[in-house]
Structure 1
Amino acid sequence: MKKLEIKYIAKSVPLQADKKTKVSWLLDESRDFWLLRGITFDVTQGEAVGVIGENGSGKTELLKIITGLERQSTGFVTTDAKISYAGLDSIDPNLTGLENIRNAVEDSGVDKFKGDHLTNGIIDFTEAGQLLYRPVREYSVGMHARLVLGLALYINPELVVIDDVLSMLDQTFFEKTIKRIQKLKDTGTTFIISDVKNIVIESLCERCAWISFGELQDFGPTKDIIRQFEYSLEWYRSLTLPEKNDYLANKQREQMMFDVRVLYDEFKSEQFKNGYTRKDEPKMRRAFYVDHGADPVSETGRKLNQEQKKPRKLGIAVPVVAFLILVFASGGWLVHRHMTKENAQKEAVSLKSVNKSSLKKTAKSSERLAKKQSEEKAK
């Protein structure tokens, strides 16, 4: 069962030439520099996959894309697992070790009882002692590595990405960490591990991906891939200095001249084989270059994409809102009715008073008229 699948991953960055630098093909700001060029491989549940390559080959960029810290230019990262990242830049150096632990536990969303249990487990694992009350920026590289590994290996580990920190550990703590990783693998936790020391990869990983100049050179059983990688290093060391310079220049020229349209055509052909048609091409292009969601061809990808497209359930909100609207409308109608009744009563009272006053005036005028007539008669 595939726990993680990455396909057609490419990453481009712009070049920023110095004003004093003569712009050549190598520093042409109109072109992008492709750190990654179409990386594709998968990881199964409970497996550890190593990522090896020279410095600057694109290993760290790939791991950051997998963890969501960086955004790829093309391609898909398909997984339904929670990803934990162990790298030197994965915690806040200005906070103390204990503050980083508590923040990570709080962000995981566990209850207080389990959170306290996890905090104690990480403290015991790191063996940091009183250093936990000091800012992380004051830690040695080894103590820093212990802390980030403790966080990644204890807080809900499902898919753990470890970026060049295992080789920073002392021998005793390294052996302790290996035991912890093996125990988690036995319970189904998946690992992606990058390290500059091949012995670390060989001792932990069943399969390995070899990346060179942003391109996947090979992917397969760890021992075979490491042997090929070491052969390539021996070949490079045997070159003269001018030959090394020419080799590096040619490889970087390839990274400049990479045509991403070739990668898109490969993706498009795969889509057509799986039932998509020319009418779907706008969607395919948007998925490949813009959306960067789950791979639409894979089973997990289809499932995740369908979940994303599902309309959001409003739950109890709709009946509650309707009830409130009804209450307010009824209240308004009652107030209006009461005010109308009051106004009618006031109008009736005022009309009554007006009628009484008019009757009084009529009676008085009748009396005056009768009195006047009687006086005239007497005269």
Structure 2
Amino acid sequence: MSEEYKIKLKNVTKEYDLYRTKSEKLKSFFNLTKHDNVPHFWSLKGVSLTIYKGESVGIIGVNGSGKSTMSNIISGIIPQTTGFVDVRGDTSIVAISAGLKRSLTGLENIRLKGLMQGMSFAEIDAVRDDIIEFADIGDFIDQPVKDYSSGMRSRLGFAIAVHINPDILIIDEALSVGDDTFYQKCLDKIEQFKKEGKTILFVSHSLKQVEMLCDRTAWIHFGDLRMLGDTEEVVNAYRQFSADFKKKSAKGRSNYQKEKKQLQLNFDINAYEQQVAKETQEKEGIAEHEAKKATHNLFYGEVLPSKMTAASKWLILVALFVMLFFAFVTVSGHSVTKSISDPSVLLHPVYPKTSGAGQIFK
């Protein structure tokens, strides 16, 4: 295995605000009202891992554990809330209908995805027929994707992803649909990628597929990285957890899930940052203030602000007001100067004079 890494995550978190209504979300966006009561859900609670060049790494875990959130962060679909993310190379994610525009035809989606990956029209045309043959959806290639079945969307998405020559291939449950023939084609293609030394991230509920395809495996458990290591070891531990979980009563299983979800709701990012700073201080043997500064930079140095500044909010509000004002001026028929000096004239529009048949409406 190469010592060169392709993916590195350090202390990565992802927070979602659980707004109850669209109006509540809009008010929060402009901070027009207090929203302290809006619950915050942490899909990831400080995940750190390194994936090396040529590795095939499985990602397993129960539903809602944060697997897809992590794969979407790595592929650049969504940003992390805190932490360091370094992805070295072009990524291509394969999920059921991921990245496919439903209003476009299959052929148009091939062109669009190719252009988004930086391919030229000539390069897209060179692989177009191979993609169509691999997807095996027949004349549907010229039909809108919205008319496809989930299996057809998955086949097209997979075919596009593996033919645009990515450095890193991310497969998120994409092999859970489709017939056995296509499934075998996918496995053969993944094996080919492995032989070519490409890096593969494989998110799946199928432990057999993970065992077959992956060198190492990460077990994500309700936002935490519970285990990372040799695939056989991690999968066996996960199977044991699943067996123990199934032995619980229905109430016991429900209580366990509620407890874990509550921890994701109650996660304190500030307390976590302090914990990491303390660990950094002890490990590096540096002063407390230096550890805090280094940790804060690690948490937020690579992160774009997820919430707008007060100045930006005011700027947008002013821009909206100006746009509305000019719209009213245009409709009223008055001049801008007159409307500014006497805004009340906007309530008394000037209608253009008409002649002939139009006079009947006077």
Q: Same fold (TM over 0.5)?
A: yes
The answer to whether structure 1 residue 248 and structure 2 residue 257 are counterparts is: yes
CA distance in 2, matches of 1:289, 1:40: 15
Q: Distance in 2 between matches of 1:271 and 1:166?
A: 44
Q: Alpha carbons of 1:123 and 1:271: their partners in 2 closer, same or farther (altered >3 Å)?
A: farther
- 1:274/1:98 Cα in 2 relative to 1: closer, same or farther (>3 Å)? farther
Assess, with a 3 A threshold, how the Cα gap between structure 1 residues 271 and 178 changes in structure 2: closer, same or farther: farther
2:197 — aligned with what? 188
Aligned with 1:36 (options 24, 33, 44): 44
1:5 maps to a residue whose letter is K
C-alpha distance 186-17 of structure 1, shift in aligned 2 (>3 A): same
Question: Alpha carbon RMSD of aligned pairs, Å?
Answer: 2.3
Aligned to 1:94, the other structure's residue is in SS state coil
In 2, the alpha carbon distance for the partners of 1:275 and 1:150 equals 51
Out of 283, 289, 295, the position equivalent to 2:300 is 289
Residues 107, 234 of structure 1: alpha-carbon distance in 2 compared, 3 angstrom cutoff = same
In 1, Cα distance between the equivalents of 2:280 and 2:291? Answer: 13
Identify if the C-alpha distance between structure 1 residues 281 and 234 changes in structure 2 by more than 3 Å, giving closer, same or farther. closer
1:244 corresponds to which letter in structure 2?
Answer: R
CA offsets per residue over residues 271-296 of structure 1, 9 Å max, x none? 88569863585565244135338xxx
Relative distance call for 1:254 and 1:281 in structure 2 (3 A) is: closer
Q: Letter of the 2:302 partner, please give it.
A: D
Alignment of 1:52-131 (within 5 A): 52-87=60-95, 88-131=97-140
Q: Give the match for residue 5 of structure 1.
A: 8
Q: Is the 8 A contact 2:74 2:87 kept in 1?
A: no
Is there any run of 5+ residues in structure 1 with no aligned partner, and where? 19-27, 294-379
Hey, what's the Cα distance between the residues in 2 that align with 1:247 and 1:228? 18
Q: Which has the larger radius of gyration?
A: 1
Deviation at 1:245, TM superposition (A): 2.3
1:242-267 deviations in Å (ceiling 9; x for gaps): 22222122212211222323432454
Which residue in 2 is equivalent to 1:51? 59
1:214 matched to 2:223? The reply is yes
Q: Which runs of 5+ in 2 are unaligned?
A: 22-35, 305-362
Q: Contact 1:53/1:59 (CA < 8 Å) preserved in 2?
A: yes
Cα pair distance change 1:260/1:127, threshold 3 Å: same
Matched residues, number = 284
- Aligned with 2:300: secondary structure? helix
Task: Provide the C-alpha distance between the structure 1 equivalents of 2:190 and 2:254, rounded to a whole number of angstroms.
Answer: 40
* SS, match of residue 57 in structure 2: strand
Aligned AA (2:108) = E
TM-score (norm 2): 0.72
How far the C-alpha of 1:14 sits from its partner, in A, is: 2.1
Cα distance in 2 between the residues matched to 1:17 and 1:29: 11
CA distance in 1, matches of 2:205, 2:283: 39
CA distance in 2 between partners of 1:130 and 1:271 (Å): 62
Question: What SS is found at the alignment partner of 2:239?
Answer: helix
- Report the CA distance shift for 1:226/1:94 in structure 2 as closer, same or farther (over 3 A): same
Secondary structure of the residue that 2:225 maps to in structure 1? strand
Deviates most, 278-287 or 202-211: 278-287
Counterpart pick for 1:155 among 150, 164, 170: 164
In the alignment, does 2:170 pair up with 1:167?
A: no
Instruction: Report the Cα offset of residue 115 of structure 1.
Output: 2.3
